[in-house]
Amino acid sequence: MGRIFSGVQPTGNLHLGNYLGAIRNWVRLQHSFECLFCIVDLHAITVWQDPAELRKSTREVAAGLLAAGIDPARNVVFHQSSVPGHAQLAWVFNCVARLGWLNRMTQFKEKAGKDRENASVGLYAYPNLMAADILLYKATHVPVGEDQKQHLELARDIAQKFNNDFGVGTFPVPEPLILGPAARVMSLRDGTRKMSKSDPSDYSRINMTDDADAIALKVRKAKTDPEPLPDTLAGLDARPEAANLVGLYAALLDLDREGALTRVAGRPFSEFKVELTDVAVSVLGPINAEMKRLAADPAHVDAVLREGGERARALAAPVLDEVFEVVGFLKT
Ligand code: AMP
Ligand code: TRP
């Protein structure tokens, strides 16, 4: 059995993209792998976070994972800052990774924007920390969305360079697991942009905390075009909004896009949107209710994270010892 590590940032609301692109897959993977699921607060502060909001989001993401069906007894669910080894191994990797490698990272370029001189050093070194997350537990598989593939490639390079430089076999080279038909859920306001926590318009996304009324309103307001739905997938080609809604419908029903389209082909959006709302509410409704219950019981969520942190520290300790030994740090 392989070991999985994956992470999600506690920065704002979890949305349907996070659920369909990541969390739902994690729920499924817990049956065939040993899994660590981490709320990556150290990654979050690579851009400014309001401290009170960060704490709130950390609990909310934990609640979202539990509500979606991740079993904290069977998996290790924890927050990154509770395990010092992430930052310690990241430092070692800062000294293994090369400037040239990091200069190629497209997410840094996007996030730093034009004002690169003013980006935090942490934002630049972010992929090294991500490599540390994974390799601190010698994880073999990493479920990630499309957007994280380049970072995982870098983690693989770091594992190999470390092993080569020191002539050891310390780290396995982790494999990506890219799953599901909804690897990319797009904004409800613009079918060419990713659904994102950081989009200023709340109408662009369906949050995991949205109730049935909010979901209905957002689907009703979702951008579309005047044509009815086509009969074939090719008919969605130049219609990004229609393609996104059909993709969502398919993912929610766990069908492929072709199968989903045959159910709704020829319908006007007014009808299709009612159907899509029903499906979204039936999937998210129970999760949403459980998140509300957990929001009212923060002590329970904190206890789950505390226990997860203890288990993660116990798994990390021997790996960190091994790395320190290999690197030549004196043990006194
Ligand atoms: P983030 O919200 O960036 O911390 O991402 C957490 C996880 O959700 C990662 O595995 C992402 O790849 C995934 N994810 C985020 N946004 C989307 C989206 N719009 N569609 C599909 N997956 C997404
Ligand atoms: N960078 C990832 C994201 O923004 C989150 C993350 C941090 C992660 N560490 C990880 C994902 C390790 C997979 C494995 O989505």
Instruction: Check 111, 223, 273, 331 and give the catalytic one.
Output: 111
Closest C-alpha among 159, 125, 130, 132 to residue 144: 130
* Known catalytic residue at 194: yes
Please identify, by atom number, the ligand 2 atom nearest to the C-alpha of residue 134. 12
- Contact residues for 195 (Cβ-Cβ < 8 A; gap 6+): 15, 16, 17, 185, 186, 187, 188, 204, 205, 206
CB atoms within 10 A of CB 74: 11
Q: Which ligand number lies closest to the CA of residue 134? A: 2
Distance between Cα 249 and ligand 1 center (Å): 18
pLDDT digit of tens for each residue in the chain (332 aa)?
799 999 999 998 899 999 998 899 999 999 999 999 999 999 999 999 999 999 999 999 999 999 999 999 999 999 999 999 999 999 999 999 999 999 999 999 999 999 999 999 999 999 999 999 999 999 999 998 778 899 999 999 999 999 999 999 999 999 999 776 556 899 999 999 999 988 999 999 999 999 999 999 999 999 999 999 999 999 999 999 999 999 999 999 999 999 999 999 999 999 999 999 999 999 999 999 999 999 999 999 999 999 999 999 999 999 999 999 999 999 99
To the query of whether residue 149 is one of the catalytic residues in this protein, the response is no
Q: Are 194 and 187 in contact (CB under 8 A)?
A: yes
Q: Is the CB of 8 under 6 A from ligand 1?
A: yes
Instruction: Give the closest residue (by CA) to ligand 2 atom 13.
Output: 6
pTM for the model stands at 0.93
Q: Please choose from 147, 179, 184, 245 the residue to mutate so as to test ligand 1's pocket, defined by most ligand atoms within 8 A of CB.
A: 147
